[in-house]
Amino acid sequence: MVKGLFDFRIKKEDDQTATRLGQLTTPHGTVNTPMFVPVATKGTVKTLTSQELREMGAEILIVNAFHMHLLPGAEVIRELGGLHSFMNWNRPLITDNGGFQATNIYMFHKIDETGIFFRSPHDGQIHQITPEIAIQYQNDLGADIIMALDECPWYSTDYQYFKESLSRTLKWAEESKRLHQNANQVLFGIIQGGTFKDLRQKSVNEMVKKDFMGYGLGGISVGEPDDLIHEITRFTANLLPREKVRYLMGIGSPAIIFEAVEAGIDLFDSVFPTRSGRHGTLFTTYGPINIRNAKYRLDSSPIDTECSCFTCQTYSRAYITHLFKHQEMLGMRLSALHNVHFILNLVKNIREAVQKGIFLNYKEEFFQNYSLNK
């Protein structure tokens, strides 16, 4: 950690759970935790502008360095002033290392101890990501927080494969730590090990020795059932140092958010709110609705009467149903805006409940309401 540029402080801890409030300071501003991190995969949170995200309370975004490296190229973005300038986003940024995307079934070629080989979706050529390459393109992009290269296997019970995979991730973390020299960024390590607790324990033990400022919890919510997601999240978070940032990668539904926060997670990201919105599933105080359903065709009420987002203050369910029926892009955009606002507001309410010492009461009240649409 570079003194003065980066800092993480715990401001309050819940008496009944592992929930905590914190502040993460970066060169581009402060993030109040716990915080949801909207995913700007290719430099944009799909259909939303930077101004809209700022207005709805987003304090930090994550960009997929892999996609930006492929197109337009990290060196191009560096020449244009870096990712913050390129995106018109003056608040903190995280970049992912690309390991998860490179092992996508449609792009994956092979993996060995040196890195991940993948087929480019743009030209079909075989490329490789190594720790050195991942650090270089993340340095060029200039995000505040960057991630050490890891392998993120899908859920399975193949213990031997996960053991070998973890060995690669630990080796690459060591190399990433050695290669990263940019004082304007901090490097996070990523904990792997699947659903095997002894491998998770080993991953934490070895990663903590490397003294990263924060730790991503990877390989969670990649096909395993919800009860295992909750169990492995709680188990892993409990092993990590209290004073370090805990970042659960790839979760964004209300149910898992509450479980994550209760386990002591500080940051979490997911495309789930935007993707759900673009497909017509909208979050409301009383549970999710499918706005494509014919029953909303004459419904003049907003998506959520309790919501203050632009969509709810301006348009009716009937209008958004109409947009979806005609496959109008505005319907997807308004729905994504609402869902991201809903999740950001939910996390804000969670922080306020923790501050007041009523987190568990708020959780119970939320889910009593959230089940009413079922």
CA distances from 374 to 32, 284, 288, 367, 368 (A): 33, 12, 8, 12, 11
> Would residue 269 show up in a list of annotated catalytic residues for this protein?
yes
Judge contact between 191 and 150, C-beta under 8 A.
no
| Alpha-carbon span 273 to 336, nearest angstrom | 7
Helices and strands of the chain, counted as H and E runs: 15, 16
Question: Which one of the listed residues 14, 96, 144, 304 is annotated catalytic?
Answer: 96
For 247-257, letters b (16+ CB in 10 Å) and e give bbbbbbbbebb
Helix axes 131-141, 159-179, angle to 10 degrees: 50
Phi first, then psi: what are they for 315, rounded to 5°?
Answer: -130, 160
Q: Is 341 exposed, middle or buried (0-12, 13-18, 19+ CB in 10 A)?
A: buried
Helix axes 226-239, 254-262, angle to 10 degrees: 30
Concatenating the DSSP letter of every residue in 238-249 gives: HHS-TTSEEEEE
Helix axes 159-179, 197-209, angle to 10 degrees: 10
Nearest to 270 by CA among 244, 238, 246, 248: 248
In the sheet that 115-119 helps form, which strands lie side by side, from edge to edge?
Answer: 108-112, 115-119, 126-129
> Would residue 96 show up in a list of annotated catalytic residues for this protein?
yes
Question: Which one of the listed residues 14, 144, 150, 269 is annotated catalytic?
Answer: 269
Q: Peptide bond preceding 273: is omega within 30 degrees of 0, i.e. cis?
A: no
Round the CA-based radius of gyration of the chain to a whole number and report it. Answer: 20
Question: Which sequence positions are flagged as catalytic?
Answer: 96, 269
